Structure 1
Amino acid sequence: MSDVDSGTYEGFTAEERAAMKEHAQEQKAAARRSSRADKAAQAERDVLAKIAEMQDSDRIMAERVHAVVTAAAPALAPKLWYGMPSYALDGKVVCFFQSAGKFKTRYATLGFSDQAKLDEGTMWASAFALTEVTAEVEERISALVKQAVS
């Protein structure tokens, strides 16, 4: 039985409400920017600033993920999505990095939206737990991102 069914549902967590507020602010900021080039440049600065705010282990992983994603798929545009670094194709988020600190989880996550072309049979992974970004992990991320935009 879910919390809603049992009558104990208390609404969104503080972290979820904060993420929704961040998303609303991101949308407002994007609407105020004038040119497409200005929007892209500011969006990347916003992503890098958000990464810089993260706790050490999350920040280190997010920096490496950012470098790998932007190198593997230059067509993806960095942008904030619910306060998380994400990478979009034609304005639609393909993948994102969720720090462990975002929702107080024990690991960071590299997630892919339904826009990612990761389909494999009738079931496939769309999110990956990250505890460290090693050279092997970077290779796997690169391959996943390339497949996602293929």
Structure 2
Amino acid sequence: MTTEGDTPGGFSAQERTAMKERAAELKADAKRAKGAKKAAADEADLLAKIAQMPEGDREMAERLHSIVSAVAPDLAPKLYYGQPGYNRDGKVVVFFRSGQMDKERYSTFGVSSKAALDEADGFWPTSYALIDPTEEGWERLADVVRRAAKTE
């Protein structure tokens, strides 16, 4: 199924935009200095992107940013395909996707394969739908971030 602006058998307009954003992110990374200045610039880019998000998603992304900063300060904020992510050694560990920007019913909090969440039964979630989490929901999300960020 294609929508207006899509090319049959190709990428959707949304996918093309995400790829352009990622290319711009990589170009900006190549120009930046290393160390603290780069980390500060990455966080500034992430916070600027969050500020541009539609109401609702913006508040959830801000809350997630404060949670990650508090419970997993060793994870570094950085944009990935125009969406907030938090990485260790350049590898994304947890991320947020704006549902409104993605034209989806809900936003998503997710963990990558770099997250330390392996469960004994070999079964665990890698993403969570977010619409308007309760305080209990935010506490559960903070626990997932804390566990995901553990180093082995």
The TM-score with structure 2 as length reference comes to: 0.90
Q: C-alpha distance in 2, partners of 1:77/1:126? A: 19
- Tell me, in whole angstroms, the C-alpha distance in 2 between the residues paired with 1:96 and 1:111: 5
How far off is 1:9 after superposition? 5.5
The residue number in structure 1 matching 2:75 is 76
Q: Which runs of 5+ in 2 are unaligned?
A: 1-6
Displacement, 1:57? 0.6
Aligned alpha-carbon RMSD (Å): 1.7
Over 2 Å off, 4+ runs:
none
1:16 matched residue in structure 2: 15
Instruction: Please report the TM-score for the alignment, with normalisation by the length of structure 1.
Output: 0.91
Whether 1:149 aligns to 2:144 is no
The aligned length equals 145
Which residue type is aligned with residue 148 of structure 1? A
Q: 1:16-39, CA deviations, whole angstroms, 9 ceiling, x for partnerless residues? A: 111111111101101101131111
Match of 2:125 in 1: 125
Q: Which runs of 5+ in 1 are unaligned?
A: 1-7
Q: State the shift of 1:13 in Å.
A: 1.0
Q: Is the 8 A contact 2:19 2:81 kept in 1?
A: yes
Larger mean CA deviation between 140-149 and 9-18 belongs to: 9-18
Correspondences of 1:111-122 after superposition (within 5 Å): 111-120=110-119, 121-122=121-122
Give, in angstroms, the shift of residue 134 of structure 1.
2.7
Contact kept? 1:22, 1:82, Cα under 8 Å: yes
